[in-house]
Structure 1
């Protein structure tokens, strides 16, 4: 599994943790080896020389295929180009290219590289818009699959005392929620006498593989201690989903929140807001939270992913 994180983004670490557990729990006869993005960048020439053709390569899931995070985009291109004889599985991703000259140029570059790999490339998408984009733009590609974000495969249980509102907002290039709205949220909470705790799913330090599980679970425990989460970060919404925490989510620039929300829209405690109606949102912090909130899928998607991987192997 290539391009797992060694930075501080706990959403990406939660994906990597879920991927590793998926193989250990459901595919234990497959040997699993992880190569972080930093290690790959420093050693890709060596890996190209020593990795045999029989090894199936994975590219860790996330939301970085596109022209927003070009360093990650170029790593994906490098993997596909460097291992033309290996089967490659891209785990559930969001794909987003801006609809402008630069976005179209970058997509054409990536598209050509994908097309050269043929049927040996397996592309999993975690939202319908991304799935349709790949399906429509590379109609000859056979191995395209629609699967959830891997974090939704994590089964966690906490028994924390819940209080107040947890807010988790972006401050990077994917942010579109205005500071005015965030200030309105804070003032509404204050007016209603509800405590707000700001948090982030991105730590200001690197997180190594050895510390991943502890850091992810500490963050999940924080989410499980809130009565309500308000966020524009995808994995803050998913952390709320798997901890049974009511959440109101606002979309981001790449639309990955609204895309992945389709997998959990059956949950009555997770809401996607397209309008800035904050006052009613704040009042949700006073609701009684059911003990057994749990997400589910209408079909066994994890069993389907397991079978897909077995067929590929």
Structure 2
């Protein structure tokens, strides 16, 4: 379980989330969340569940309308909620690394020029100045866009280039709160990226005794079943919007449980995934942190989560593994001394 100091950090970040968002949520208005992450990455599901948990626990709300990028219907949104703020799912896809999501949010800005649109906390990264300028033009045409960001670099960038309200806010996954981990099965587990944001290159043969995994492998059948069961729970309402919410939320829970089970196996963890870092804090597991391709993890830790004894900023993969093994050895010594007493 998280230490006392870690629980204090989690509660502090939850309070900061509320301070950022409470201005935009009113008791008499519905809300929407767009760009549901129907993908295998468990971290995106953690963000989604934090968004839902915040609305439910702090405001007693569920979103009246949700959608993915490909099944979004402006007409249905207007029909279900003609007023109220439109939220866009948070994460690390603001920019041109993951273009589908940036194109989608800019389309939403153009479709609803008079509605308040709030971007849940994001990290910003552009490789192309031309693509950044295009985003700036589209944001500038919308006069009621609020951009929440997860690090100071993103805040400075947005304030310099975008004509909108910009606020610094922790990642929404912290709204889930502390988690109860399962008993560990492995001394050290490495959770390393294998996608466009990968920065750590390694030879698996160099670490024959170290499990090296990622959390983007899933059972498609299990997710399909969870969606079907989720949709079935709303059949009595006969409301398509509620059935979609139940279906997608069930898929997020399925993926999140898988990710938590996976990382709980390690007594100590080495990772370059932001949400393995965040979930390790929620679980109370020591972990060594490497960075992704554009500095997202170090930026986030500098803003919010770097002051805990559970996380270590590793200089290299070897350094991170050595630190994690030292934590495991210390934990073994502590348990041995406790048994002797």
The answer, yes or no, to whether TM exceeds 0.5 is yes
Which one of 155, 172, 192 corresponds to residue 195 of structure 2?
Answer: 172
- For the structure 1 residues 183 and 245, does the alpha-carbon distance in structure 2 shift closer, same or farther, using more than 3 Å as the test? farther
- Pair 1:107 & 2:132 matched: yes
Question: Is the contact between residue 223 and residue 243 of structure 1 (CA under 8 Å) also seen in structure 2?
Answer: no
Q: Give the match for residue 70 of structure 1.
A: 99
| Structure 1 position 83, deviation (Å) | 0.7
Question: Is the contact between residue 49 and residue 252 of structure 2 (CA under 8 Å) also seen in structure 1?
Answer: yes
Question: Is the contact between residue 287 and residue 310 of structure 2 (CA under 8 Å) also seen in structure 1?
Answer: yes
Which one of 130, 148, 154 corresponds to residue 124 of structure 1?
Answer: 148
- SS of structure 2 residue aligned to 1:95: strand
Which one of 258, 264, 267 corresponds to residue 305 of structure 2?
Answer: 264
For residues 209-245 of structure 1, what are the alpha-carbon distances to aligned partners after superposition, in whole Å with 9 as ceiling and x for unaligned?
Answer: 2232243124213323321111111111111111011
| Structure 1 position 16, deviation (Å) | 0.5
Q: Give the match for residue 64 of structure 2.
A: 33
Question: Is the contact between residue 41 and residue 215 of structure 2 (CA under 8 Å) also seen in structure 1?
Answer: yes
| Structure 1 position 3, deviation (Å) | 0.4
- Pair 1:87 & 2:116 matched: yes
Q: Give the match for residue 233 of structure 2.
A: none
**CA distance in 2 between partners of 1:6 and 1:12 (Å):** 9
**CA distance in 1 between partners of 2:65 and 2:139 (Å):** 22
Q: Scaled by the length of structure 1, what TM-score is found?
A: 0.79
Question: Is the contact between residue 263 and residue 269 of structure 2 (CA under 8 Å) also seen in structure 1?
Answer: yes
- SS of structure 2 residue aligned to 1:89: strand
Q: Scaled by the length of structure 2, what TM-score is found?
A: 0.73
For residues 255-274 of structure 1, what are the alpha-carbon distances to aligned partners after superposition, in whole Å with 9 as ceiling and x for unaligned?
Answer: 11111122111111111223
Question: Is the contact between residue 200 and residue 317 of structure 2 (CA under 8 Å) also seen in structure 1?
Answer: no
Question: Is the contact between residue 224 and residue 244 of structure 1 (CA under 8 Å) also seen in structure 2?
Answer: no
- SS of structure 2 residue aligned to 1:153: helix
| Structure 1 position 72, deviation (Å) | 1.0
- For the structure 1 residues 81 and 274, does the alpha-carbon distance in structure 2 shift closer, same or farther, using more than 3 Å as the test? farther
Structure having the higher helix fraction is 2
1:106-255 to 2 correspondences below 5 Å: 106-118=131-143, 120-138=144-162, 140-141=163-164, 143-162=165-184, 163-180=186-203, 183-184=205-206, 186-187=207-208, 190=209, 196-204=210-218, 207=223, 208=227, 209=248, 210-255=250-295
Query: Using CA pairs below 8 Å that are at least 6 residues apart, which structure has the higher relative contact order?
Result: 2
**CA distance in 1 between partners of 2:262 and 2:156 (Å):** 35
Which one of 55, 58, 69 corresponds to residue 87 of structure 2?
Answer: 58
| Structure 1 position 176, deviation (Å) | 1.3
Gaps of 5+ in 1: 191-195, 292-313
Range moving further from structure 2, 109-118 or 51-60: 51-60
- For the structure 1 residues 205 and 7, does the alpha-carbon distance in structure 2 shift closer, same or farther, using more than 3 Å as the test? farther
